[in-house]
Amino acid sequence: MVWNFADLIEGVADIAPDRTAVICGDRRITFAELDERSTRLANHLIAHGVGVGDHVGIYAYNGPEWVEAMFGAWKARAVPINVNYRYVEAELAYLFDNADLVGLVHGREFVSRIAAVKDQCPKLKVLVSIEDGTDEDLATIGSVEYETALSGASANRYDQPRSPDDLYVLYTGGTTGMPKGVMWRQEDFFHSTIGALMGGGNTFTSPEDVMELARNGGTLVGFPVAPLMHGAAQWVALMLLLQGNTLVLSNQKKMDPHDVWATVVRENVMTISLVGDAMARPLIEALEDEGADYDLSNFYVIGSGGAILSPTVKQKINEVLPNVLIIDSLGASETGFQGSVAGADAEGKPRFAMGDHTVVIDEDGVPIEPGSGIVGLLARKGYMPLGYYKDEAKTASTFMVLNGERWVVPGDMARVEEDGQITLLGRGSVSINSGGEKIFPEEVELALKSHPDVFDVVVVGVPDERWGERVAAVVKARGHAKPTAEDLAAHARTTIAGYKVPKEVHLVDEIVRSPSGKADYRWAKSIATESD
């Protein structure tokens, strides 16, 4: 056994074959079933020409098949590629081509979209369709039905040794630009992220240590609410399964808060993970709806990764669920898991402990001294990705050699406080430059979310003749409220400097976010500029 996710999941299946691995609706999959079904898919892919290192896309909503496809690709020594199910045809064509997809496991409902771009993707030759109740014609793209593919393939495991150099690739859209594929060696990704999430840190000296943990597992039931196409949900899923615990999924196309809580109760879920306020706010407010009555006595953790929970939402969670621990996690596709914290500083911004592997640097690559007040770039060394797939220029600008050591600098801005902790401010690529002052949208959003008339908000910069850019807030109001720029500016001034407050407000019926809950700053900017 080596540091390879296919080897690891097979080891867990051998240790605990009859434990429940995945629950989705009324479906329950044991570890033995997960192992066999992913093995059959791997053998189908191999038999139809998928080779070592080839890329296999997963274009589907959450469900057991998503997990089987991920492990099935790794079992074949191929590389699973996450595909955003909200992409339109132009975005799909870009991703399929950029990722050099050879195979694709997809929901049947997406056949027409795939058909529209397939001729532009000559490498794509193996397609497997997950049944979803639709009647799209698979023949139009040459796809085979998922259960047919599995039933016709061998259940015998791949008999060639795998490598810790096999890849984990995560396509990330970020906040600007087209998606990029972040490439990790599986061994590096395990140690940077999955092992750290398990609580083992660097204490796992061999894969057998993980197996020992799994042998004693089976007691935790976890529920990542976000789509598995999002890294934060994948990481939680891998953490749970490689510990021998149970992964609960929802196959909802749009999150229904009451369905989430009903699932938590029905399956005795102990912890859920989500992405920021966009998921947390409707979930926690649903508990106060008339007739809502959920026994959450076995539920004890809400974790957020990929977006930080605002103090307002944390306070609401504490009011409604006083015995539940709230955890914010720091990390990115390019860094893996970097740490977690419960609570926030006086300004509402999370502060994270800084270890030897993480520092804040200035524009010359020099570490910033604690308490200096200087805003710099978050940087990490140690286990890190190889780079971006087919993008040497972006790899060179993000993965730097400083003082003889390789560091990843993904663009997150931060400040080092006097006690040595890091205050995270936001991604520099979406910062607003107003009269030479740098303003981070996330900081302004936190200030606005505590206003009683604001349900959700995204902040962007719009062109300004005098200042270069001015702050604009795109707001979904609560109920029938119509907060004005003056209202929100007066409220925000109680927590942030005057130059950061919004100069204009654009009310919308819904805030557009990714399925994972991340803000779509390009959409918000178009709303703000088109309204002028």
pLDDT above 50 for 175: no
Residue 455 main-chain phi, psi, to 5 deg: -90, -40
* 347-398+409-427 and 431-530, same CATH topology: no
| Model confidence pLDDT, tens digit, residues 330-364 | 888 898 888 777 654 455 566 777 667 888 988 78
Mean of the per-residue pLDDT values for the chain?
90
- Looking at 186-257, which runs of residues are DSSP E strands? 221-224, 246-249
Find out whether 238 and 263 touch, Cβ atoms under 8 Å: no
Residue 93 main-chain phi, psi, to 5 deg: -60, -45
Strands 246-249 and 221-224: parallel
What is the per-residue pLDDT for 312? Answer: 84
∠81-381-208 over CA atoms, to 5°? 65
| Model confidence pLDDT, tens digit, residues 159-173 | 889 999 999 999 986
- What is the mean pLDDT of the segment spanning 148-154? 98
Euclidean distance between CA atoms 103 and 85, whole angstroms: 16
What is the per-residue pLDDT for 11? Answer: 97
Q: Quickly list DSSP for 288-331.
A: TSTT-----TT--EEEEESSPPPHHHHHHHHHH-TT-EEEEEEE
Strands 55-59 and 79-82: parallel
Q: Which two tokens stand for residue 245?
A: 């615990």
Which residues touch 346 (CB under 8 Å, ≥6 apart)?
none
Architecture of the structural domain at 431-530: 2-Layer Sandwich (3.30)
| Model confidence pLDDT, tens digit, residues 270-303 | 999 998 888 999 999 999 999 999 999 999 999 9
pLDDT above 80 for 231: yes
Confidence label for 435 from pLDDT (cuts 50, 70 and 90)? confident
Most confident of 270-274, 371-375, 435-439: 270-274
Confidence label for 426 from pLDDT (cuts 50, 70 and 90)? confident
| Model confidence pLDDT, tens digit, residues 81-99 | 999 898 888 889 999 999 9
Under DSSP, the state recorded for 513 is B
Quick one: which H or E segment has residue 207? helix 207-215
What is the per-residue pLDDT for 362? Answer: 87
| Model confidence pLDDT, tens digit, residues 375-408 | 898 998 899 999 999 999 999 989 988 878 899 9
What is the per-residue pLDDT for 202? Answer: 61
Q: Classify burial at 228, counting beta carbons within 10 Å of its beta carbon; exposed 0-12, middle 13-18, buried 19 or more.
A: buried
Which residues touch 256 (CB under 8 Å, ≥6 apart)?
none
Confidence label for 320 from pLDDT (cuts 50, 70 and 90)? very high
Confidence label for 506 from pLDDT (cuts 50, 70 and 90)? very high
What is the per-residue pLDDT for 521? Answer: 87
Taken as a whole, the chain contains a residue count of 532
Which residues touch 266 (CB under 8 Å, ≥6 apart)?
none
Find out whether 521 and 474 touch, Cβ atoms under 8 Å: no
| Model confidence pLDDT, tens digit, residues 469-500 | 899 999 999 999 999 999 999 999 988 888 89
Euclidean distance between CA atoms 526 and 441, whole angstroms: 15
How much of the chain, in percent, has pLDDT values that exceed 90?
65
Which single residue is written with the structure tokens 């027409």?
Answer: 112
Find out whether 106 and 87 touch, Cβ atoms under 8 Å: no
| Model confidence pLDDT, tens digit, residues 12-52 | 999 999 999 999 999 999 999 999 999 999 999 999 999 99
Does residue 531 or residue 452 have the better pLDDT?
A: 452
How much of the chain, in percent, has pLDDT values that exceed 70?
95
Euclidean distance between CA atoms 269 and 284, whole angstroms: 16
What is the per-residue pLDDT for 501? Answer: 92
| Model confidence pLDDT, tens digit, residues 59-86 | 999 999 999 999 999 999 999 999 989 8
| Model confidence pLDDT, tens digit, residues 200-219 | 656 789 999 999 999 998 99
Euclidean distance between CA atoms 58 and 84, whole angstroms: 9
- Alpha carbon 288 to its chain centroid, in Å, reads 28
Residue 42 main-chain phi, psi, to 5 deg: -60, -45
- What is the mean pLDDT of the segment spanning 242-248? 97
CATH number of 5-15+29-199: 3.40.50.980
Euclidean distance between CA atoms 287 and 297, whole angstroms: 14
Q: Quickly list DSSP for 135-197.
A: ---GGGTT-EEHHHHHHTS--SPP-S---TTSEEEEEE--SSSS-EEEEEEHHHHIIIIIHHH
- Residue 388, classed as helix, strand or coil, is strand
The domain segmentation of the chain, as residue ranges, is: 5-15+29-199, 347-398+409-427, 431-530
- What is the mean pLDDT of the segment spanning 227-239? 94
What is the per-residue pLDDT for 477? Answer: 95
Confidence label for 468 from pLDDT (cuts 50, 70 and 90)? confident
Find out whether 388 and 395 touch, Cβ atoms under 8 Å: yes
Architecture of the structural domain at 347-398+409-427: Roll (2.30)
What is the per-residue pLDDT for 177? Answer: 59
Q: Classify burial at 54, counting beta carbons within 10 Å of its beta carbon; exposed 0-12, middle 13-18, buried 19 or more.
A: buried
